[in-house]
Amino acid sequence: MYYHDKRLQYPVRVETPDPLFARQLQQAIGGVEGEIRVCLQYFFQAWGARGPHTKYRDMLLHTATEEIGHIEMLATAVAMNLETAPLTLQESAAEANPVVNAVMGGERPRHVVEGMLQRHLLSTGLAAMPTNADGVPFDCSHVYASGNLAADMYANVTAEATGRTLAVRLYNAAHDPGMKDMLSFLVARDTMHQQQWLAAIEELGGAAALPIPNSFDQAMERQDFSYVFLGTDVTGAPPPEGRYTAGPSMDGKGQFSVLQNTPLGEVPVLGPAREGSGAQAEQIGKPAGR
């Protein structure tokens, strides 16, 4: 069960509305790096969590719920930045905002910018949408909830790292002091979330918990390939040396080495096409005994 407080988690202020920046903020809502993604990812990881480690389920629920607040903040920011957007197809977005005018005359085609603004008007009445910056709806294809707690924590570190990268880029693109202030808060929360998932990984054993899943008996895998870096340079030149080419493996269960990758299998030969499959006659084999 969830409760709602109509007050925002952090203040959202816009001194100079900027419809173009509203479009850019949409990426932080419905992009693959955005808040809808991490919100749903943490919820589904929590709802599917099994085992005695209930504190990690609780941690995921706390953070997933916080992410709802981040979506709310960004949606509010989008709506505030759209307050000077054009209200008709005849009204020029260039007249509504000089920044849009500059972009239309430069790096982005006019119809692209106007098209996004009109979607905001026609679909939401100048409010945020569950889409990325190009108006593509969020489709959950990047929500990762594997049922393996350690695997999910690593996925969460990646999600927060890409999310923080986007937030930093938006901060650098922002001109409004209120938007910079809001984004500085979101960047800080991304910092914490990266740290908390890494802390959970450490509690679960860190590198010693590798490989994931650690419940699979490694005696069942081809261990002669478990810690070998395979070079694939056509000339046979060795790969650049690194931590991953020599010395103890990260889990302490093997030694890194390097091997030039060579084919170990045969050239694949498939059976003939079947009657009625739509293949050419030359592809169809004769039935046995004929």
Q: Is 221 annotated as a binding residue?
A: no
| Cα–Cα distance measured from residue 36 to residue 8, given in angstroms and rounded to the nearest whole number | 17
| Cα–Cα distance measured from residue 254 to residue 224, given in angstroms and rounded to the nearest whole number | 10
| Token pair listed for 193 | 């979330």
Nearby residues of 111 by Cβ (< 8 Å), 6 or more positions away:
none
Q: Is 193 annotated as a binding residue?
A: yes
Q: Is 120 annotated as a binding residue?
A: no
pLDDT digits (tens, 9 = 90+) for 114-144: 667 767 776 777 899 999 999 999 999 999 9
Burial (CB < 10 A; 0-12, 13-18, 19+), residue 160, is buried
| Cα–Cα distance measured from residue 39 to residue 43, given in angstroms and rounded to the nearest whole number | 6
pLDDT digits (tens, 9 = 90+) for 225-243: 999 999 999 999 999 999 9
| Structural domain boundaries, residue 98 | 19-207
65 and 127 both lie in a single domain: yes
151 and 171 both lie in a single domain: yes
Instruction: Report whether pLDDT(93) > 70.
Output: no
Q: Is 67 annotated as a binding residue?
A: yes
Q: Which residue, 198, 103, 121, is CA-closest to 159?
A: 198
Instruction: Report whether pLDDT(101) > 70.
Output: no
Is residue 12 in a domain? no
Q: Which residue, 31, 62, 13, 19, is CA-closest to 159?
A: 31
Cis amide leading into 268 (omega within 30): no
Instruction: Categorize the per-residue pLDDT at 86 as very low, low, confident or very high, splitting at 50, 70 and 90.
Output: low
Q: Is 83 annotated as a binding residue?
A: no
pLDDT digits (tens, 9 = 90+) for 10-69: 999 999 999 999 999 999 999 999 999 999 999 999 999 998 879 999 999 999 999 999
CATH number at residue 115: 1.20.1260.10
82 and 122 both lie in a single domain: yes
Is residue 289 in a domain? no
| Cα–Cα distance measured from residue 83 to residue 175, given in angstroms and rounded to the nearest whole number | 16
187 and 253 both lie in a single domain: no
pLDDT digits (tens, 9 = 90+) for 156-203: 999 999 999 999 999 999 999 999 999 999 999 999 999 999 999 999
Q: Is 236 annotated as a binding residue?
A: yes
Q: Is 15 annotated as a binding residue?
A: no
